[in-house]
Chains A and B, each alone.
Chain A
Amino acid sequence: KQEVTQIPAALSVPEGENLVLNCSFTDSAIYNLQWFRQDPGKGLTSLLLIQSSQREQTSGRLNASLDKSSGRSTLYIAASQPGDSATYLCAVREGTALIFGKGTTLSVSS
């Protein structure tokens, strides 16, 4: 059974720092991996989608990598800002559904 783990569970950084969020999954037979952002009381906003044949995707200050063979993905956030404070969720698609980790809650202080 696929399991997705995100480390750390929570992270606090000062504004301007570069940071990395980690995601690992137990079964490498995935179709894609998606990173989401969730603000308190809100739904999920899709940040990046990496297909199984891809190694990375970039959008603005965000860069996500995928190493399917080792079951790992990282989300790199450059020059963090207070507006980046949210919970970041990683999800893999191996069948019909997305399978999510529990998320990393990020707090960026000004």
Chain B
Amino acid sequence: GAGVSQSPRYKVAKRGQDVALRCDPISGHVSLFWYQQALGQGPEFLTYFQNEAQLDKSGLPSDRFFAERPEGSVSTLKIQRTQQEDSAVYLCASSDREGRDNEQFFGPGTRLTVL
């Protein structure tokens, strides 16, 4: 079956612009995660959804970052008034159950460059 997909794969934004990044999880997966990966670093957690409910947003770096998953499937990560420090790869992952022992499957990521 299809894996996690993300779009766009690459995004270049001018400082101050708003951007929206999309994630399509594996069909039927309950849990969805967003991570941010800076160059040369491991991914860092941003936020977690269980179906349509955002249960953890402790990793969002500022109130310029907003995520939603209104129907419990596709998710969008929105960054308002982008800054150069927002440049990173944004990874989405999903898992098929709610338990914490479940494997997370990652998408290819969206590489955001803020000029």
- Which residues of A come within 8 Å of B, CB atoms? 4, 31-32, 34, 36, 41-46, 49, 51-52, 89, 91, 93, 95-103
Contacts and interface: CB of A to CB of B under 8 A. Distances in A.
Given A46-B106, A97-B56, A98-B104, A91 B42 contact: yes
Residue in B56, B104, B105 whose Cβ sees the most chain A Cβ within 10 Å: B104
Interface of A, secondary structure class, is strand
Contact of B48 (A32, A91, A97, A100): A97
B42 A43 contact: no
Contacts of B103: 34, 46, 49
A32 B59 contact: no
Interface residues of B, number: 26
B6 to A, nearest CB: 8
A32 B101 CA distance: 6
A100 B100 contact: no
Contacts of B101: 31-32, 51-52, 93
B45 interface: yes
